Amino acid sequence: MLSKQRIKDLEKQGYRIVGDHSAIKVCLWTKKSIRKEDVCYKKTFYGINSHRCVQMTPCLPFCDQRCVWCWRDIDFTFPKWKGEIDNPKDIVDGCIKAQIKYLQGFRGNQKKDKQNFEESLKPIHFAISLSGEPTLYPKLPQLIDELKKRKITSFLVTNGTKPSMLRKLIKHQPTQLYITLPAPDKENYIKCCSPLIKDGWEKINESLLILNKFKRSVIRLTLVKDMNMINPEMYASLIKKYKPMFAECKAYVWVGYSRERLNIENMPLHSEIKEFAKKIAKYSGYKIIDEKKESRVVLLAKNDYKDRKLKF
């Protein structure tokens, strides 16, 4: 599935390939947390320990959209599954092994926090969000079950184009489900995401309709200036309709291959994200309950949710 040259290019970018179609990439916030310099917004909002988080994907080359803001090389994308289907246990084992191997470089780092480093070698959270569309992986429910078996929490991020898989997941329940709402309407969705399927917008709305079947749910807006950062009242209407536990307004970040499609001016400032979030709050009935300036992200909720942080 992945050529030797493709693997080499991905490894230069920090990816570590696991099996035939999975990968991990140790993110900036994991490294910062090991050095006790800062933490990811998922720690600020939900209590996830950044240094013990594995950022991974079970479907590296598979996605049914080519979003203009994606950091991947979207010319290398398969909209339907083909080839081998790795076993969930092997994927989890491989991801943890690859994460630990990568982090060994911190062993001699004088800036590391010793306790955080030692804890980082025992991951307790999987962010299933790195690349590709995870709901295309046929054994995703079994993967969630495998993580639960090991007492590993999971945040699953999906583009929402596979509602049939989300219905299967209702009985398996990832710790928190994210659905990305990429545009306020169908016309802008097609412009922004160049879907490789005909009914992508309809499928996203079908997925949003079952959000309330999940114990913890988030609608995420990845906002790009001069593109989808428009019509806050229409986003608010969808949030009000589908009633997620949380909504996140997050700035597009000018990284990876997206730099070939967009300009740095398309990346909103945190102040701009907050103003946009205020408008969504006004029209939706949700309210701003937290923010992380360094990540350019604002959290909204219908209620205070004082117990929103997971206990470890």
Q: Is residue 53 part of a domain?
A: yes
Q: In what order do the strands lie in the sheet with 15-18?
A: 15-18, 22-25, 53-57, 125-128, 153-158, 176-180, 217-223, 246-251, 297-301, 287-292
Residue 310 located in a structural domain: no
The residues, ordered by sequence, that sit 6+ positions from 64 with a Cβ below 8 Å of its Cβ are: 79, 80, 133, 136, 159, 161, 162, 195, 196, 197, 200
Low-confidence ranges of the chain (pLDDT < 50): none
The two tokens of residue 262 are: 């967009």
Pairing of strands 153-158, 176-180: parallel
Question: Is residue 124 situated within a structural domain?
Answer: yes
What is the reported pLDDT for 1? 66
**312 lies in some domain:** no
DSSP state of 81: -
Token pair of 12 as six digits: 């230069």
| Residue 311 within any structural domain of the chain | no
What is the number of structural domains in the chain? 1
Q: Is residue 306 part of a domain?
A: no
- Phi, psi of 20, rounded to the nearest 5 degrees: -90, -20
224 within domain boundaries? yes
pLDDT of 72:
83
Q: Encode burial over 58-80: b for 16+ CB neighbours within 10 A, e otherwise.
A: bbbbbbbbbbbbbbbbbeebbee
| pLDDT value, residue 211 | 96
Angstrom distances, CA of residue 216 to CA of 46, 175, 240: 11, 7, 16
Q: What's the pLDDT score for residue 88? A: 98
pLDDT value, residue 306: 85
User: What would the two tokens of residue 30 be?
Assistant: 């994991």
pLDDT of amino acid 101: 97
Distance from chain centroid for Cα 274: 20
Q: 150-187, pLDDT tens digit by residue?
A: 999 999 999 999 999 999 999 999 999 999 999 999 99
The reported pLDDT for the residue numbered 203 is: 98
> What DSSP letter does each residue of 134-168 carry, written as one string?
GGGSTTHHHHHHHHHHTT-EEEEEE-S--HHHHHH
Query: Strands, E, within 36-194: which ranges?
Result: 53-57, 125-128, 153-158, 176-180
* 195 inside domain: yes
The answer to whether 257 and 72 are in contact (CB under 8 A) is: yes
β-strand partners of 18: 22
Domain at 142, CATH number: 3.20.20.70
Distances (CA, A) of 100 to 8, 11, 121, 125, 132: 20, 16, 5, 13, 23
The alpha carbon of residue 171 and the mean position of all alpha carbons in its chain are separated, in whole angstroms, by 21
User: What local confidence, expressed as pLDDT, does residue 4 receive?
Assistant: 83
Residue 75 is predicted with a pLDDT of: 78
Print the domain residue range for 248. Answer: 4-301
How confident is the model at residue 90, as a pLDDT? 98
